[in-house]
Amino acid sequence: MATYQLYRNTTVGQALQQTLNDFQAEDIISRALAERVMATFDKVINKTLNTKAKNKMNFKAEKLRAYRFCDNVWTFVMEKVEFREAITAPKERLKIVACDGSNKTLAPPAAP
């Protein structure tokens, strides 16, 4: 099953990648094993966030700078964003990347 690799750029994803790189440099694990661990991370984080994360956030932006929809992924770039209930100070710029986490869109195409 194909998965998004979006969460590799999060704090936990980068920490995992750095740890795996350190293990490879010290010949503790092979490159193939490190790649398999990252593939498992991609699969598990996508599934977990799709089923377990229920938090919501309200915000208001003064300007929608850019948006696009490509390969079932929405990307929005907004300016002068105010968050309600979470952060009191406004942020100058916010980028949101929204992916469809359902299995039907992540599944590879059927073989002919």
Position 50 scores a pLDDT of 76
For residue 111, what pLDDT band results from cuts at 50, 70 and 90? very low
- Least confident segment among 17-26, 29-38, 57-66: 57-66
State how far the alpha carbon of 30 is from the alpha carbons of 20, 43, 73, in Å.
Answer: 9, 20, 32
CA distances from 20 to 7, 27, 42, 49 (A): 16, 10, 14, 23
| Whether the model pTM is above 0.75 | no
Instruction: Work out how many domains the chain is built from and give that number.
Output: 2
Domain range spanning residue 24?
6-52
Domain CATH number, residue 24: 1.10.287.190
Residue 45 shares a structural domain with residue 22: yes
Q: Mean of the pLDDT values across residues 93-101?
A: 77
Identify the band that residue 98 occupies on the pLDDT scale cut at 50, 70 and 90.
confident
The distance between the two most distant Cα atoms of the chain, rounded to a whole number of Å, is 54
Indicate the average pLDDT of the chain. Answer: 82
Per the domain annotation, does 112 fall within a domain? no
Separation between Cα atoms, residue 79 and residue 95, nearest integer Å: 9
Q: Is the pLDDT of residue 56 over 80?
A: no
- Strand segments, DSSP code E, in 5-109 are 58-70, 73-84, 91-99
